[in-house]
Amino acid sequence: MKLYLKIWRQKDANSKGKMVDYTMEGIEGDMSFLEMLDVLNEDLITKGEEPIEFDHDCREGICGTCSLQINGRPHGPDTRITVCQLHMRRFNDGDTIVIEPFRARAFPVIKDLIIDRNAFERIQQAGGYVSVNTSGNTVDANAIPIEKEMADKSFNAATCIGCGACVAACKNASAMLFTSAKVSQFALLPQGRVEASDRVRSMVRQMDLEGFGNCTNTGACEVECPKGISLENIARMNREYLSATAKG
């Protein structure tokens, strides 16, 4: 395949970026999208040019770092997969592919296609944990019976990989889907109920401090989420928040 790429290049966080055109030939359908970028970078290095910086780690849909906006969609044209799981067979010979970093005020560009997602880490640190005394008295997790339905919902919420596609997909750059998944995975389990009120208040406060936008229920986040995190989690977080603030 011959492909025409338009890729966002930005020297550093303080520089102005711009789209740069690249033409690639001999791209095989079985290559992953990131392998295609690897080949482009090898060409650039051979020519003595600076390679394109992009984030990646696991390359199997687990870590959430490979987030890119491809032809205007977070993680590209397929649903329920991350960029590293996207293959070039999804594109046609002669296609133009526009590749940008996720765009959100709370996710500043560090370089080229790499964004700073530490805002998510700070939301997580604000309450996304359960305080457990592990000094030899830890209770076996199976000692507390949990309904299968609740366990499944909690597990599904916990599959959020923190990629940020929900923010990139939202016209308001809202982080409600991410935050609600992190709140829900604990709120649905008895072990998470002990700190539930403090958790939801702290995490929502941090989310607002980070400069994410408000949720207006467009649902774009759910559509673009590679893990299928449900909007149901946002409704649950709103209920948790109302109940926590009513308690004072």
Q: Tell me which residues touch ligand FES (CB under 6 A).
A: 56-59, 61-66, 82-84
Question: Whole-angstrom Cα distance, residue 211 to residue 199?
Answer: 19
Query: Which is nearest to 120 in space by CA: 177, 79, 56?
Result: 177
Q: Which residues pair with 3 in a beta bridge?
A: 24
Q: Does residue 76 interact with ligand SF4 by CB under 6 A?
A: no
Give min distance, CB of 237 to ligand FES, in A: 24
Given 126, 227, 237, 240, the residue binding ligand SF4 (CB under 6 A): 227
Q: Which is nearer to ligand SF4, 130 or 223 (CB)?
A: 223
Give min distance, CB of 163 to ligand FES, in A: 7
Q: Does residue 113 interact with ligand SF4 by CB under 6 A?
A: no
Q: Identify the helix (H) or strand (E) that includes residue 201.
A: helix 196-209
Give min distance, CB of 16 to ligand SF4, in A: 28
Q: Does residue 170 interact with ligand SF4 by CB under 6 A?
A: no
Q: Does residue 127 interact with ligand SF4 by CB under 6 A?
A: no
Give min distance, CB of 166 to ligand SF4, in A: 3
Q: Are 164 and 83 in contact (CB under 8 A)?
A: no
Q: Say what angle helices 232-247 and 176-187 make with each other, to 10 degrees.
A: 70
Q: Does residue 220 interact with ligand SF4 by CB under 6 A?
A: no
34-54 burial, b at 16+ Cβ within 10 Å, e below that, comes to bbbbbebbeeeeeeeeeebeb
Q: Which is nearer to ligand SF4, 160 or 237 (CB)?
A: 160
∠ CA(56), CA(61), CA(67), 5° rounding? 45
Q: Are 15 and 30 in contact (CB under 8 A)?
A: no
Return the range that interacts with ligand SF4 (CB under 6 A); candidates 23-31, 36-44, 87-95, 221-229.
221-229
- What size, in residues, is the chain? 248
List the x/- string, 134-163, binding to ligand SF4 by CB under 6 A. Answer: --------------------------xxxx
Q: Which two tokens stand for residue 119?
A: 């805002």
Give min distance, CB of 185 to ligand SF4, in A: 11
Give min distance, CB of 74 to ligand FES, in A: 12
Say which DSSP state 144 is in: S
∠ CA(74), CA(109), CA(230), 5° rounding? 30
Q: Which two tokens stand for residue 64?
A: 């959430």
Q: Which is nearer to ligand FES, 41 or 172 (CB)?
A: 41
Query: Given the rule CB under 6 A, which residues bind ligand SF4?
Result: 64, 160-166, 177-178, 181, 225-227, 229
